[in-house]
Amino acid sequence: IYISGGLIIIFMRIGYILPGILMIFKSAFNFKAAAGGFLGVGIMNAMQMGIARGISSNEAGLGSAPIAAAAAKTDVPGRQALISMSGVFLSSFIVCTITVLVLAVTNSVGQIGPNGEILNGAPLVMHAFSSVLPGGGIIVAIGLILFGLSTILGWSYYGEKCIEYILGDRSVKYYRFLFIIFVFLGSQLSIQTVWPLADIMNGLMAFPNLIGLIFLSKVVVEESDYFFKIVKKEKELQFDL
């Protein structure tokens, strides 16, 4: 729904795509951005926000998505690995690109909210959608609800499998109660508290996982080569038939 709504807005205002892209580049390379980059402050903040939000959207490098991928039944691990990689492409490239283009073609960046604050995050996207599509804000709201529910269910499963592996099957029911409590606590905390806490937790997961990936890189190469050899043989058999 979100992708369809975003594409409709982009096509409805297709004449504003080029000016919108130019605005992005002008904002990135103006004097203020250049001065901040020269001092290192702008680059540091951009990397911090970009990496943190990117990890939150696609989980790349955390080692969490493989928990779900491991549940798939496949004769070749490389096949499931490619499917898992497509999720990063879809969430980070497709969805984020559509969102950026919608903000650009609707000229929504810098809009002021009802309380005099500069719109940012979800309110900004809702404003962009509703400025072109009747009920566009509802589309964004539905997307946020579904994203929130899928995130809760996904991370509940990840944690459950980790607890099951470490402490055994009997500990799962206690984990579920604890998880529900933390979901409630998270809904009561301010966003200024939740985001830094989430960034810290993501960093604690990513650091050991990335180190593990370095040591397992040889296995990744071997499995990749094995998978592509199988694909090549399958194509040759189809060609012979």
**The pLDDT value given to residue 80:** 82
Q: What percent of the chain has pLDDT over 70?
A: 85
**What's residue 241's pLDDT?**
53
As a whole number of angstroms, the distance between CA 223 and CA 231 comes to 12
Band of residue 28 on the pLDDT scale cut at 50, 70, 90:
low
pLDDT-derived band at 39, boundaries 50, 70, 90: low
| pLDDT for the residue numbered 77 | 81
Task: Give the C-alpha separation, 131 to 211, whole Å.
Answer: 46
- The yes-or-no verdict on residue 53 having pLDDT over 80 is no
How high does pLDDT run on average in the chain?
Answer: 81
- Determine the pLDDT at residue 167: 92
126-163 pLDDT per residue, tens: 888 988 888 888 999 998 888 888 888 988 999 999 99
Read off the pLDDT band of 177 (50, 70, 90): very high
What is the predicted pLDDT for the residue at 36?
52
Model confidence pLDDT, tens digit, residues 57-79: 777 778 888 888 888 787 778 78
More confident position, 39 or 57: 57
Nearest to 226 by CA among 66, 79, 87, 68: 79
Split at pLDDT 50, 70, 90, the class of 175 is very high
pLDDT at 174: 93
* Whole-structure pTM value: 0.75
Q: Which of 16-20, 37-41, 171-175 has the lowest mean pLDDT?
A: 37-41
- Distance in angstroms (rounded) separating the CA atoms of residues 105 and 11: 10
Phi and psi (nearest 5°) for 143?
-60, -40
Q: What is the pLDDT of residues 91-103, one digit of tens each?
A: 778 888 888 889 8
> What does the alpha-carbon distance between residue 65 and residue 62 come to, in Å, rounded to a whole number?
8
DSSP string over 86-132:
HHHIIIIIIIHHHHHHHHHHTT-TT-B-TTSPBP-SHHHHHHHHHTT
Q: Using 50, 70 and 90 to split pLDDT, how confident is the model at 192? A: confident
Joined together, the tokens standing for residue 182 give 């933390």
CA 53/CA 199 separation, integer angstroms: 8
